[in-house]
Amino acid sequence: MNTLIVEDNKELALEMADYLRKERFVCEVVHTGGEASELIAVNQYDFLLLDLGLPDYDGFDLITEAKKEGSEAAIIIITARGDVADKVKGLDLGADDYLSKPFALVELLSRMHAVARRKFKMDTNVILFGGFEMDVNARVVRFSGGDVDVTRKQFDLLQYLVMNRNRSLSRIQLYEHIWRNTLDDQYDSNFIDVHIKNLRKKMAEYGPVDWLVTVRGVGYKAVF
């Protein structure tokens, strides 16, 4: 999932990004509120990991901006501030969780998984669709008890479609959330079509894929 890390401690920001990338998150890192404000205005993110103590910006203002821009990013405040009033203010503005420094990276990942489950209305980490079973945490897809042989990117693409079930996703959305931001001049809508074609072919080796629907003029959606 596409994640923006806003943290002025460059060492911590790098540690977070490296760890989350190993967990298959797409991460961008900025160290100032101004940089974050520009990116939030033009890109779509699944997660915004936000330090309140930025050198040039009030982190609370960034939450307000993100909401005004219509961002659907889940916001986790990460800060050294221990004031309960700050925590309440952040949550009231629309943040989804609050993590105090110092913290273990595994706790951050756990919080992100918990927020994702709430965001996508998942009771467990296992999603059932079209006879398939996806274990989000284990990153495994099964059919009739056997593992489905998908690549890492195929899993990422499938996961994003399935977690956004019954929602039409544009090619740009899929590209942005799975690969990188829309400012990448290498973007080509046919790029997504090829990956969807390959994913369908792979899944069809195991079971029906009529749940993966093409939305004419828009993109694709998983229906179940």
74-79/126-129 β-pairing:
unpaired
Q: For the chain, where do the domains classified as CATH 1.10.10.10 start and end?
A: 126-222
Query: What pLDDT, in 10s, does the model give residues 10-38?
Result: 999 999 999 999 998 989 999 999 999 99
Per-chain mean pLDDT for the chain: 91
Average pLDDT for 56-83: 91
Average pLDDT for 46-74: 93
Q: pTM of the predicted model, to two decimals?
A: 0.78
Average pLDDT for 84-106: 92
Query: What pLDDT, in 10s, does the model give residues 150-208?
Result: 999 899 999 999 999 999 999 988 988 787 654 455 556 688 899 999 999 999 999 99
Q: For the chain, where do the domains classified as CATH 3.40.50.2300 start and end?
A: 2-119
User: In this structure, which topology does domain 126-222 adopt according to CATH?
Assistant: Arc Repressor Mutant, subunit A (1.10.10)
Average pLDDT for 135-139: 88
State the Cα–Cα distance between residues 127 and 124, nearest whole angstrom: 7
Looking at residue 189, what is its pLDDT? Answer: 62
Rounded to whole angstroms, what are the CA distances from 69 to 13, 50, 123, 215?
24, 16, 29, 25
CATH hierarchy code of domain 2-119: 3.40.50.2300
Looking at residue 175, what is its pLDDT? Answer: 87
State the Cα–Cα distance between residues 25 and 142, nearest whole angstrom: 22
CA dihedral 12, 18, 23, 28 (to 10 degrees): 80
Looking at residue 188, what is its pLDDT? Answer: 62
Nearest to 76 by CA among 103, 39, 38, 42: 103
